[in-house]
Amino acid sequence: MNDLVAIDIADLHKRYSGGVDALRGLTLRVPTGSIFGFLGKNGAGKTTTIKVLLGMARPTSGDVRVFGLRAADPDASVSIRLRTGFVSEDQDLYDAMTVQDLIRFTAGFYPRWRADLEARYLRSFDLPPGRKVKTLSRGTRTKLALLLALCRSADLLVLDEPMSGLDPAVREEVLQSLVRHVADEGATVFLSSHQLADIDQIADHVAIIDRGHALVCGSLDDLRDRYRRIQIVFDADAPALSFRTPGVIRTHRQGRVLTVLASGAADAVAAEARAADAVSVDIMPLTLKEIFLESVNTSMNAEN
């Protein structure tokens, strides 16, 4: 563990009472200063991971460290939370307080609270200080939750589906504020979402998890470089080729076309295909959405 890694999760398992395995050997590293997209379907284990990070749930086994501190240790967890801003999926806040009261209340926990940022975000988010939190719209609650997370000078922002249920205008406003804040103030962002477009727009690193373990983890640019779809056309029905090149994730035959999904070594796969008398071989990059869907579908097929 070093200063280059903000979050280090190794072989994390979480079994809830009742026998539900929410996490099954999750391993991932979040580089310091990155905007890390944490992708997965509903029920993949994203929220449980965040709860373990923040000490809200205890790991069954495995090691979770944030800033080098063990998240499962109650005292270390307080130190972690002192340096972490959190926005929950349902913007879980104190409904009975006014916006101003909640800001004052939250500021009281953080010695490094930034009054200048508070004033700026109150203005730019157009938050009504005197209004009760329970009367705020979903979008305004999200902005308030974001203000509370951003003004505490957090080294890490943990955002659990913050954009869910927001209209496109508010979503864009929140995303831009987040990016601007990170650019100005510098912080690691751990952004859980199943909104691939949001992650694609702002993240530089991603992990895709399914059924409690990571399928893919790395820099977004590396993933885009690594994953390729290779479309191979034959002059007769496509043969059931068995590729020797490592990194072939999935093959699909339809008529004369054999489609290969490969993680790395696409050129070697193409060379093998040409050696098998392919008429044409096209190598195409994958979008994040395609990488996500292919990873999850492959995982599902493997499990079934």
* Cβ 71 to another protein shortest distance, Å: 13
CB nearer to another protein: pick between 51 and 228: 51
Query: Total binding residues for another protein by CB under 8 A?
Result: 29
Q: Does 282 bind another protein (CB under 8 A)?
A: no
CB nearer to another protein: pick between 106 and 192: 106
Among 66, 67, 71, 88, binds another protein (CB under 8 A): 88
| Positions 100 through 119 that interact with another protein (CB under 8 A) | 105-106, 108-110
Among 34, 49, 84, 195, binds another protein (CB under 8 A): 84
Rounded to whole angstroms, the Cα distance separating 105 from 121 reads 17
CB nearer to another protein: pick between 57 and 273: 57
* Cβ 93 to another protein shortest distance, Å: 5
CB nearer to another protein: pick between 54 and 209: 54
Residue 78 phi, psi (nearest 5): -65, -40
Q: Which stretch binds another protein (CB under 8 A): 92-100, 114-122, 204-212, 220-228?
A: 92-100
Q: Does 136 bind another protein (CB under 8 A)?
A: no
Q: Which stretch binds another protein (CB under 8 A): 94-102, 178-186, 254-262, 285-293?
A: 94-102
Strands of 5-16's sheet, edge to edge? 20-31, 5-16, 61-66, 69-70
| Positions 45 through 64 that interact with another protein (CB under 8 A) | 51, 54-58
CB nearer to another protein: pick between 109 and 239: 109
Rounded to whole angstroms, the Cα distance separating 250 from 229 reads 10
- Hey, what are 237's tokens? 């029905």
* Cβ 271 to another protein shortest distance, Å: 51
Rounded to whole angstroms, the Cα distance separating 176 from 202 reads 9
Give 17's contacts (C-beta < 8 A, 6+ positions apart).
none
Q: Does 82 bind another protein (CB under 8 A)?
A: yes
Q: Which stretch binds another protein (CB under 8 A): 37-45, 91-99, 167-175, 244-252?
A: 91-99
By CB under 8 A, name the binding residues for another protein: 16-17, 51, 54-58, 74-75, 77-79, 81-82, 84, 86, 88, 92-97, 105-106, 108-110
